[in-house]
Amino acid sequence: MVNLGGGFPTKYLKNVPTVKAYGSAIFRALRKHFGNRIPETIIEPGRGMVGNAGIIEAEVVLVSRKSAEDDVRWVYLDIGKFGGLAETMDESIRYPIRTPRDGDEVGACVIAGPTCDSADVLYEKQPYALPVSLEIGDKVLIEGTGAYTATYASVAFNGFAPLRAYHI
């Protein structure tokens, strides 16, 4: 038996190969190494199977600038790294974000979470384009959050309740 492990990606902001493309590559490699005697094979699709099954609804709690001369806005959400978005660490995953103001003019912004921890910044190295018209109280949808977000959410970090999950 061959266990190929996991690691199938899911689509966030960039397209990824299809499951069929992965299957073809795996089958070619198995055929090359085992000929017609292909062993039983198991694969753990993980994120590739469930990543796009989740959406986190968040609320904008503040829109600000660090100074009057700063072109980049800071958009603070009521969820951050400690609320389930740990995989934004080093901006590894850039989740798609929908807003009620999509279609309006966009501008660069840093997105941060609600805690006072300086690490609770999701996207700063490469600012995220969000509508300039975004306001406090607007709900945003963070897409592609079906994998690991609920399990990464801390319990009561800085007094914040853990991420609530609803399974449909």
Q: Give residue limits of the domains in the chain.
A: 2-50, 54-159
Tell me: the pLDDT tens digits for 95-146? 999 999 999 999 999 999 999 889 999 999 999 999 999 999 999 999 999 8
Residue 37 pLDDT class (50, 70, 90 cuts): very high
Tell me: the pLDDT tens digits for 39-77? 999 988 888 888 888 899 999 999 999 888 888 999 999
Which CATH number, 2.60.40.1120, 1.10.10.10, 2.40.37.10, 3.40.190.80, labels domain 54-159?
Answer: 2.40.37.10
Contacts of residue 48, Cβ cutoff 8 Å, sequence gap at least 6: 8, 9, 10, 16, 19
CA 48 centroid distance within chain: 13
pTM of the full predicted structure?
Answer: 0.82
Q: Residue 131: what pLDDT?
A: 97
Q: CA dist 167 to 6, 9, 118, 146, Å?
A: 23, 22, 32, 10
